[in-house]
Structure 1
Amino acid sequence: MTLDRGIKIQVVDSNAVSLPHTETAIAIIGVASDTNATAELNKLYLVTNSAQARSLLGTQQLGDTLPLAVPVPQRYGAGKILACRVEGGASVEDNVIAALELLPTSYGMFGFSPDVIMAPGFSSEAVLAKGLEIADKVGAVFLSTFPPGVSPTDALTTRDNPGGGLARRNSRLIICYGHLKDVEDENNLEALELHLAGAMARLDSLQNYGRIPSSQEILGVSSIEPPISMSYTDENAESEQFNDKGVVTINRQPDHFVTWGDRNSSFPEDLSPMSIISVVRVRDRIIKMAEDRAQKFLDLESNRRTGNLLATSLNDGLAIEQRKGAIQPGHLAEFLESESDYPAGKLVARLTFTPYTPVRLIELKPVLSLTISVGG
């Protein structure tokens, strides 16, 4: 059905960097089987603190995924988590897919849509297909991690050729490799996607504009499972091989682990800026900013003056983001009168903006100069 009243977004070119908003909204779907959990099945809940999470989801039971998942991004300060509890058992995958379909209702319920979507422990083609469908609808990214039983070699082989499941190529899909042991209980394995989502939320809250969520400290963990070879200089290290195949993984600093990778799963086939994680997220932030500003002009008189006022408001929004260091100078919002239709009540505006490309490789060329003196 054609939209004839409201705001229609047509993305022509998407060159941008990560823009902040008040707080990153993270959606997590999973199993919580504790009989003391107060959350109803198949219902969205806004979780803002750890005490609320414990009350809603109960304690971890065998086969659960949600009670341990929600606290991980909270460790990074995430306070805007949409949690949906589903029933386990033989139909659990169908239940996860049904829960994903609830996410577009979050705007009507809470006034926002998720920016990041996860269903930890569920990475089948059916789940990914539905997750990406919903992510595209609400303007989010979908995170998924290879299961802990998959070896680095098998995971890398999976990414060799485009296909279904975790072999998918999609700019909204961020694939991770690695699980981490909770420093307080090493029996608890935490999927890297949960830490990556937390890092995204922390960067946005700190207003570190233009930053990709790579090289961010991973909090509250002791070791990784399974082990992988890590390096910043060896192209054959598994950490580098994963990055070469569009997978975010883990690297090491002397006293802590860090997230490692700046590309989404469309890489390496797609070498454009749209394969950079932050660019996709920024496109969504710019669109949402434009939507918020455009809404104020609905129902005003359809004429040139309103169109020019719309362009002025959009330019103000872009200027604010430039002053924050988010986008480069030279951005522009312009009213396209030739494409507008006053009698039909249609106004058209175009936004153009340019990214700051993150540094991916630093090449060092040391030169050793020796002076040798012989004799007295």
Structure 2
Amino acid sequence: MKIQIPDYIQVLIDLLNQNGYSAYVVGGAIRNALLELPIHDYDLTTDATPQEMLQVFSNYRVFQTGIQHGTITVLSNKQPVEITTFRSESIYEDHRHPSGVLFSKSIEEDCKRRDFTINALCYNNNEGLIDFFGGVDDLHHKIIRCIGNPHERIDEDALRILRALRFAGRLSFTIEEKTATAIHKQKDLLHYISEERIHNEWIGILETTALPSILVEYSDIIQVFIPELKDTVIEQSIASINRSLLNANIRMAILLKDIPNAKEILERLKYSGAEQTVILNCIKHSTKSLTSKIELKQFLSKLNIPFDIYHTYRYAIDTDYPRYNMLAYYHEIQDASEPYLLKHLAIDGNTIKGIGYQGKEIADVLHACLDEVIHHPENNDAKILIDMIKRTD
């Protein structure tokens, strides 16, 4: 089986080979190549130690940020490539991190420590595809399977629980029975995983096409880190999830729509301020009445997130939402540059201050002007607005 390796990767393999070392492309790149999916990056593994790699790539720009774990990053044709020394099994002390790094000279030993069979595939042009654990067969049958004993793999690194869900969702694969059993049985090990790592995997799960089935089949696992997502909440959210885009923020807003402590949950899971703004604004305006262009402009003046995000969310949760009318109104507003924000006004605070208003009065007058031009866009003219202000003075 021939897999096309980019030149900027092959040159690194060749250089290692020329210096007496073996090297392989490993993991996701090979998996995606066999599935004919896009490949975003290539990771290499080699029997060269980190210090030996530094000598081999002395003419390249090298980053040593992961060198204590056996990994260096080499810049090849301006592309960063991670290269890691073969490693062997070591004891895991906290269900996440190995107690130490043991280098190996065996590619099979290196593959044995990986999580799933489909992620332990190796390739180079000289030896072809190497598959120690039936990963190709599992790809063919669309199965996520732990390498070796699944209880041991998960006990070593509990993050593999969420990785299994993410891969199953992203690839539309089924989690093999023994692996699924271990995931359910050992779900409480997720308490050992940092909220930041859970957040990253959870985002990946939310953006998969198989999210509805994952929410139902693995609700007990999700409830370990979001106990508020009771089975009834999940059941009530499925139809909306099915109507939504593969957008993590929109889908999280759907799941948290009727949960009072949504902000607390987001903060607990280390959601960024920007993510929280999107999710909480969607939830806040879940039932906003929108039936006319005027109402839409008034709403846009208060909405702190892009309208397309809210529009997509609202359509997902509300079958009565006038989707096409609102989209048509929105395009009319944009195409005609109709004002709906304070910054769209033909005058500003300085203008109003010059008329004689001060402090909070300035903001009140500005909002009165905005309300006027929302209803009558043609009045967004400095002279007209100043005359209006003076008449009401």
TM over 0.5: no
Instruction: Give the TM-score normalised by structure 1.
Output: 0.29
Instruction: Give the TM-score normalised by structure 2.
Output: 0.28
| Structure 1 or 2: more strand by fraction | 1
Q: Could you say which structure has the greater relative contact order, defined with CA pairs below 8 angstroms and 6 or more residues apart?
A: 1
| Structure 1 or 2: more helix by fraction | 2
